[in-house]
Amino acid sequence: MRILILGGTTQASQLARVLATRGDIKPLLSLAGRTQNPLPVPIPSRTGGFGGVEGLVAFLRMERIEALIDATHPFAAQMSAHAREACRQTSVPLLLFSRPAWTAGEGDDWTEVASMEDAVVALGENPRRVFLTQGRLQLAAFAAAPQHFYLVRAIDEPVELALLPNHKFVSARGPFELEDELALMREEGIEILVSKNSGGDATSAKLLAARKLHIPVVLVARPATGDATEASLLAEVLRWIESHRAAP
Ligand SMILES: NC(=O)c1ccc[n+]([C@@H]2O[C@H](COP(=O)([O-])OP(=O)(O)OC[C@H]3O[C@@H](n4cnc5c(N)ncnc54)[C@H](OP(=O)(O)O)[C@@H]3O)[C@@H](O)[C@H]2O)c1
């Protein structure tokens, strides 16, 4: 069974490792190519955009893909929308493998906002020491509030950093541990954290650290997911694959 996995996430890599052990499945991992040195995966992979819906439709046909698993980041809305449309046109079964959104617990001080621009406004007028954890994307929005200090964490150094007059860059790739997050936030005197509601375990330690340190969090809500069938556990994905296998 030829399965295309749209990746760029920890979850996609986990799925790739599991499917690599299956002789009856031919998985192919697709990456956008945004990260300079992606972690190696034990299955064949390809890199770069498909060229919109049309390009993806052509790719699915050419590679005779029998199932598509969209394991992109919950904020990669364009790729997910293209996957839905291409699968509709080709009748290739589609599964959205997405981690559940984070929800606030006792002791959390969260402000949920609809966009990164709203997150900037939520920081307020007074200068604060802000921890930005959304990676390189949408960093430019914070240029509108140059009074704050920004601690920026991403895998590769974003060019948009130059737009923030008062910043420090930390290069790091998740998963992150609670102790490390606590130490970083204490060392940098962080007063407020900004994050997308990505969900999952790999990057949730920062939220626990914020709770422990009584630091407020501005959380950007996820884009809508459309009407694709969804799974959040690896076991569910494997069951879905079984249910779409052609009878021998
Ligand atoms: N957005 C985030 O916060 C975030 C965080 C962590 C990781 N990522 C990962 O980074 C990648 C890019 O995210 P984004 O938010 O820039 O995506 P996006 O805005 O939804 O997609 C923009 C374009 O990039 C190409 N693309 C995206 N993901 C691809 C993939 N897995 N394989 C091949 N082409 C892909 C597609 O180009 P064509 O139209 O030419 O096909 C797509 O139309 C994704 O793979 C995502 O999983 C994103």
Tell me the domains of the chain and their CATH numbers: 2-99+224-243 (3.40.50.720), 110-220 (3.40.50.720)
pLDDT computed for residue 35 by the predictor? 83
Those residues whose C-beta lies under 8 Å from the C-beta of residue 194, and which sit 6 or more positions away, are 119, 123, 130, 131, 132, 133, 134, 217, 218, 220
Which ligand 1 atom sits nearest the alpha carbon of residue 78? 20
- What's residue 200's pLDDT? 85
Query: Alpha carbon of 50 to those of 20, 32, 62, 78, 146: distances in Å?
Result: 23, 9, 12, 12, 37
Provide the mean pLDDT of the chain: 94
Quick: pLDDT tens for 73-129: 999 999 999 999 999 999 999 999 998 899 999 999 999 999 999 999 999 999 999
Per-residue confidence (pLDDT) for residue 248, from 0 to 100:
59
| Band (247; pLDDT cuts 50, 70, 90) | low
Mean pLDDT of 28-33: 97
126 CA from centroid of ligand 1 (Å): 35
Residue 144 above 80 pLDDT?
yes
Sign of the dihedral defined by the CA atoms of residues 133, 139, 144, 145, in that order: positive
CB 66 within 8 A of CB 92: yes
> pLDDT tens for residues 11-25?
999 999 999 999 999
Question: Residue 98 CA to chain centroid, in angstroms?
Answer: 9
Q: What percent of the chain has pLDDT over 90?
A: 86
**Could you tell me the two tokens for 125?**
């007028």
Cα 71 to ligand 1 centre (Å): 10
27 Cβ below 6 A of ligand 1: no
Mean pLDDT score, 21-36: 94
SS3 (DSSP) at 50? coil
Distance from the CA of 48 to the center of ligand 1, in angstroms? 9
- In this prediction, residues 214-239 reach a mean pLDDT of 93
pLDDT at 161 > cutoff 80: yes
Strands 217-220 and 192-196 turn out to be parallel
